[in-house]
Chains A and B, each alone.
Chain A
C-alpha cells in the first residue's frame, strides 16, 4: 500500500517537473485560455490568485487583435473557489472568429495573451454552417427553381447534387482567384456579377465539351444537369458571399463544399418524400408542385432547429 502511494507521489513529481518548463515557456502565470459561452472568455492560472487581483473587472482590458482602439468592456469576472479559473463575462456576445487580446494588470507585471479558436475548427464550422445551419435551400431560400424541378426522383436528385457540387467548388475557386488578384487590385468591383456568372457558365460549357469527348458514358448520366446548374441562384450567391466576407482560399473551398453538399442533402431529403407522396391521396388542386412547397415549408421549419448549433 505504502509503495503504491510512494510511486504515485514520484510519478506526480515527475509530471510536475515535466510541466514546469512548459509553464515557464508559456509566460508562467497564465496556463490556459479559451472562449466559453458566446460572451465569455475563460482564463486558467498556474497558481491561485486573490479575488482582489483576478476577480476585478477593472484589471482586465480586452480588444480584438485587428482593432486595438475598440476596448470591449468586461461586465463582471467570476473567479472559481480555488482562485485558478477566472471567467470574464462581456455585456455583448464576442465575435469568436476573431483573435482577442487580453491584458491583465494587478498581478505584478501586466500579462498579455491572445485568445483564439483553432483554425481547423473554424473551417469545419463554415462547412457545417453552410450544410445545416444556414442551408441555402431551407434557410436562405435560394436555388429553389432547380430544387423543385429535380427533386421528383432520387436518381435525378443524386445526379443533380453531384454535378452541382463539382461545378460549385470549381467555379468558387476560380471566382476567388479572380476576385483576389484581378477585381480587387484593379478596383473593378462593379464587374463582380458579370465576372462571376461568366466564370460559372464557362465552367459549365468547358465541363460539357470535355466530358462529351472524354467520357461519353458519364456525359449521358450527368450532361442534362449541367445546363440547369447556371439557373441555380446558389452558384452565384456563393462567390458574392465570399467576396463580401473577404474569405481566404480554404474558407472559400469549405463554403463551396458546404453549399454543394447542403443542396445535395436538401434534394435527397425532398426526393425521398416526393417519391412516397405520389402514392398519397392529395387533393387534386394540390397535386404536384403545390404540395411539394408545403413539404418544403415543413423541412424549413425543421431546419430552424439547427440554428444555434455550435460544435466547434
Chain B
C-alpha cells in the first residue's frame, strides 16, 4: 500500500493537519515539562526529528521481516537504539544543553508520537515516504515546542531566544513549571478557535 500524497504534502501534514502536540495530543510530557524557552524547544525538537527520521527509515526498510506479533517490541528497541546514539552525541558535543534537558532526552524512547508513526505509517509505506513523513512529524513537533517556548519565554521573562524584547516581565507565572499545563491548554483552545473562525469564513 502506497500513500497518494506528494512528499511536500507529507511534510506539511506533519506540521499543520496532524501536528503532534496541538492536534494529535501526543508527546505532551516535554511540551509541559521543558518548554520554558524557545532554545529548549529547538534543541529537543532537533533530537526528536533525528530519532523520528532514522527510526522511520529503519522500520520502513525492515518492515517485511518483522513478525506482526512482536512488532511493538521491535519498534521500541529500534527507537531506543537511535535515542542512545542521539543521547551520546549530545552529551559529548553539547553538554550544557544536555544538562538542561535532563532526563527528557532519554525519555524520547517513550514518546508516543514516534511509536505511533512507526505503527501507522512506516510499517506500511515505502522508505522515501517514511523519510518525508518523519521529517514532517519532527518539524511539527519542533514547531509546537518552539511556539510554546516562544509564548512562555515572552510572557514570563520578556525575552526571545535570550534577547530582551519587551524590557519588562509581563507575567512571571508563565515561566513556573506547572504553568506548562495552562499554557498548552490555552494555546490549544486558541488554535481551535482560529480554525473554527477560518472554517466559518470559508463557508460564508
Q: Identify which of B29, B110, B189 contacts A290 (C-beta below 8 A).
A: B189
- Main secondary structure, interface of B, reads helix
Decide if A232 touches B84 in the complex (CB within 8 Å): no
Decide if B182 touches A294 in the complex (CB within 8 Å): yes
A145 at the interface (CB under 8 A from B): yes
Contacts of B63 in A (CB 8 A): none
Decide if A285 touches B80 in the complex (CB within 8 Å): no
B59-98: contact bitstring with A at CB < 8 Å (1 yes, 0 no)?
0000000000010110011011101100110000000000
Find the B residue at minimum CB distance from A138: B178
What is the CB-to-nearest-CB distance from A140 to chain B, in angstroms, rounded to a whole number?
Answer: 7
B181-194: contact bitstring with A at CB < 8 Å (1 yes, 0 no)?
11011101110110
Of residues 232 to 255 in A, which have CB atoms within 8 Å of B's CB atoms? Answer: 232-233, 235-237, 240-241
Given the known interface contacts A205-B73, A230-B72, A231-B110, the answer about A283 and B103 at a Cβ–Cβ threshold of 8 Å is no
Decide if B80 touches A290 in the complex (CB within 8 Å): no
Decide if B185 touches A142 in the complex (CB within 8 Å): no
Decide if B182 touches A201 in the complex (CB within 8 Å): no
Number of A-B contacts (CB under 8 A): 134
- Main secondary structure, interface of A, reads helix
Decide if B107 touches A236 in the complex (CB within 8 Å): yes
Contacts of A227 in B (CB 8 A): 72
Of residues 172 to 227 in A, which have CB atoms within 8 Å of B's CB atoms? Answer: 190-194, 197-198, 200-202, 204-205, 227
Q: Identify which of B25, B33, B196 contacts A145 (C-beta below 8 A).
A: B25
A143→B27 CA distance, assembly (Å): 9
Of residues 18 to 63 in B, which have CB atoms within 8 Å of A's CB atoms? Answer: 25-29, 31-33
A305→B184 CA distance, assembly (Å): 22
Q: Can you give 13 contacting A-B residue pairs, CB < 8 Å?
A: A142-B29, A144-B31, A148-B28, A149-B25, A231-B115, A233-B29, A235-B110, A236-B107, A291-B185, A291-B189, A296-B181, A300-B177, A300-B181
A123 at the interface (CB under 8 A from B): no
Given the known interface contacts A145-B29, A235-B110, A236-B109, the answer about A294 and B185 at a Cβ–Cβ threshold of 8 Å is yes
Decide if B179 touches A297 in the complex (CB within 8 Å): yes
